[in-house]
Amino acid sequence: MPEVKLTNVAKTFDKGRIIAVDHIDLSIRDREYLTLLGPSGCGKTTTLRMIAGLELPDEGEVYIDEKRVSGLPPEERDVGYVFQEYALFPHMDVWDNVTYGPRVKGWEEEKSERIGREMLELVRLFERTDAFPSELSGGMRQRVALARALSSGSKLLLLDEPLGALDAKIRTELRYEIRRLVKDLQLTAIHVTHDQAEAMAISDRIAVMRKGKILQVGTPQELYLNPQHIFVANFVGESNFLEGYITERTNHKITVELRRGINVQSMNQDHKKGEKVVVAIRPEVLSITQGEKSGLNSIFGNIEGFRFEGTNIRYEIRLENDDLVVVVRPALMAEWLSVGEKVTVAFPVEKSFVFSYPELGLRTELALE
């Protein structure tokens, strides 16, 4: 049932000096696992807090289940919220934390206890229910926070960087567990994170945020295969950026002249002839061959950096037009080349993206804050 809708929601702090959320529209479908992804400080937490009622929007409306809730206090919205810092009540043990919701709502003792046991079972925490939060490990605290958020029976779960405080190993384990739980219980979940790998791995859809705005909403595949914004191309996955001007344009293809008169071709994405553009190419799309071999979309260069990252090799290559690009190849499949070697870098026409050159400059557009 729970669908969440935000229309034109805006929030500022400090008498308008800090724009935390800048007029966003967002719809979350029933039983969807949606992730708000963006660099820290981009307004993710504020958005979540406005959905929960912990913060009131300056403008715009919040709907839960088609009911306008913008004016309702948190206790009347029926959402489960897992806080970034977990916010487990320090003066209560695990059991009291988990049963707080049912008890404060005045449910019968028997029912509260049954729910408490169910929730702890759900997150597989059986022992140590009389321990206080300060005595628990990070992973256990996270489970308690989750159990507590679920205990009120809400079908809408808000998770603010729920894995942020955990070790890398536990983090990857727990993220699938949370998703499984959400799917098993048929909940709608809004998950906030700044970790794109986490977002890609668990989301049905992702909303990419930057500076209080939502840039693109889509499935992980859509964001990766078809970024609509230059920031998204860089933040979801990685991209190399080459600046140039469009010199030719047919129905399907365009030719872009890079610095020093190097021509490359890309797919036509509604750009005009003569327009200044940025060609974005993912590091894993670029092929690399030894020596100078001309061909379509082939650019000569020199290896400047080499890093073996375990499964991949990461080359930094200075192209003949002075641009620096990163090439990532699977370590077992690739030739191992060394620094200083002359190489040719190439990419398929249909595997690059073309964006209009940003008004404020490339660097500003890609900046995290």
Ligand X SMILES: Nc1ncnc2c1ncn2[C@@H]1O[C@H](COP(=O)(O)OP(=O)(O)O)[C@@H](O)[C@H]1O
Given the rule CB under 8 A, which residues bind other proteins? Answer: 49, 52-54, 73-75, 77-81, 83, 85, 87, 89-91, 100-101, 104-105, 148-149, 151-152
CB of 140 to ligand X, least distance (A): 24
Q: In terms of CB distance, is 234 or 266 closer to ligand X?
A: 234
* Strand-strand pairing, 213-218 and 156-160: unpaired
Q: Which residues contact 114 (CB under 8 A, 6 or more apart)?
A: none
Measure the CA–CA gap between 152 and 101, rounded to whole angstroms: 6
Cβ of residue 62: shortest distance to Mg ion, in angstroms? Answer: 18
Total of chain residues touching ligand X, rule CB under 6 A: 12
Count of residues making up the chain: 369
Residue nearest to Mg ion (CB): 45
Residue 85 or 292: the one with the smaller Cβ distance to Mg ion is 85
**Shortest CB 367 distance to ligand X, Å:** 14
- Under DSSP, is residue 249 helix (H, G, I), strand (E, B) or coil? strand
Question: What letter represents residue 113's amino acid?
Answer: E
**64 counts as binding ligand X under rule CB under 6 A:** no
User: What kind and span of H or E run contains 37?
Assistant: strand 33-37
Residue 176's binding partner among other proteins, Mg ion, ligand X, none (Cβ under 5 to 8 angstroms by kind) is: none
Cα 288–chain centre separation:
30
Q: Pick what 13 binds: other proteins, Mg ion, ligand X, none; C-beta below 5 to 8 Å, kind-dependent.
A: ligand X
**CA 24 distance to own-chain centroid:** 16
Give the whole-angstrom CA distance, residue 97 versus residue 146.
11
Please state the closest distance from residue 104 (CB atom) to other proteins, in A.
5
Q: Does 176 bind ligand X (CB under 6 A)?
A: no
Minimum CB separation of residue 304 from other proteins in Å reads: 47
x/- contact string, 37-76, with Mg ion (CB under 5 A)? Answer: --------x-------------------------------
Using the CB atoms, write b or e for 222-241: b if 16+ within 10 Å.
Answer: bbbeebbbbbbbbbbbebbb
Least distance from C-beta 192 to ligand X, angstroms?
6
Q: How far is the CB of 196 from ligand X (least distance, A)?
A: 14
Smallest separation, CB 54 to other proteins (Å): 5
Which stretch of DSSP H or E encloses residue 159? strand 156-160
Alpha helices in 154-229 (DSSP H): 168-184, 196-202, 220-225
Where does residue 208 rank: exposed (0-12), middle (13-18), buried (19+ CB within 10 A)?
A: buried
- 44 touching ligand X, by CB under 6 A: yes
By CB under 6 A, is residue 20 in contact with ligand X? yes
Q: Residue 52 or residue 354: which is nearer to other proteins going by CB? A: 52
Q: Which is nearer to other proteins, 149 or 346 (CB)?
A: 149
Burial, 189: exposed, middle or buried (Cβ in 10 Å; 0-12, 13-18, 19+)? buried
73: partner contacted, choices other proteins, Mg ion, ligand X, none (Cβ within 5-8 A by kind): other proteins
Residues in contact with 169: Cβ distance below 8 Å, sequence separation at least 6, in sequence order: none
C-alpha to C-alpha distance for 155 and 186, rounded to whole angstroms: 7
- Name the one range near ligand X by CB under 6 A: 42-50, 126-134, 287-295, 332-340: 42-50
Which amino acid belongs to residue 225?
A: L
Q: Which residue is nearest to ligand X (CB)?
A: 45
Give the residues lining the site for ligand X (CB under 6 A): 13-14, 18, 20, 38, 40-46
Give the residues lining the site for Mg ion (CB under 5 A): 45
